[in-house]
Amino acid sequence: MCRCFSLLLILAAGFDGLLSQAKIVVEHPVVEMGTLFQGEVRNIVIPIRNAGVDTLLVKEVTTSCGCTVARASRFSVAPGADATVEATFNSTGFQGPLTKIVTIRTNDTASPYTPIRINFDVVAEIIPSDNLYNLWIGNVALGKSLRKTISFKNVTEHAMIVAGGTSPSSDIKVYPHTGVLKAGETGSADIDVTPAKDGYAQAEVRIELSGTGQSALVMRMTYFGLKEP
């Protein structure tokens, strides 16, 4: 009799623990984001709900690669309340269908790690020669300029316009050969790199486009500012 009574107490305690825990609910564990043009940055909003009776603590939000960045780290969700987890995906350098994973770590003991699959289809209408989106420029003496010429190809069946070139870095100036780029044609741009500080640096280069779905070809330049003796 005592043994049965003890067993009932254990079962009751376990059942009460299940009722009292926080519980994360994600109604859409697979998110279809549709088509993106290469270089486009897309914001992702993932609704979550706490279906438990204890406070849900979101301890960490991680992503499967550096191209996807979560905007929230730690926050709490009251029982029965809704919240959102946000992430940003940068499609630079990607082509075709792909899947990225956002994982939410919480205090839900039944499901401490909740993965969400984000599906995209990235369309590239203009691509760099040799498909190189990340270029190593090399060593460049401080205060001196090094010119690098890059080329790119219109891989669509329609014409587009190369409208200009920019970079957020003051070290880099972009001089594209502007004008109409017909279907299948190759264009080019001159990149001047003048490092102001010693050490490694990386910066984006944008070839601005118009008359097509893709607004820009985005590439990354890495170089080393070399202090001369």
43-52, 59-68, 124-133, 219-228, range with the lowest pLDDT: 59-68
Task: Give the percent of the chain with pLDDT over 70.
Answer: 90
Q: How confident is the model at residue 219 (pLDDT cuts 50, 70, 90)?
A: very high
Domains 23-123 and 126-226 share a fold: yes
b/e code 193-228 from CB counts within 10 Å (16+ = b): bbbeeeeebebbbbbbbeebebbbbbbebebebeee
For residue 1, what pLDDT is reported? 47
pTM of the model: 0.74
For residue 132, what pLDDT is reported? 86
- pLDDT per residue over 9-37, tens digit each? 344 444 444 545 999 999 899 999 999 99
CATH of region 23-123:
2.60.40.10
Q: Which CATH superfamily is domain 126-226 in?
A: Immunoglobulins (2.60.40.10)
- pLDDT per residue over 58-73, tens digit each? 998 888 887 777 776 5
Q: Domain map of the chain by residue range?
A: 23-123, 126-226
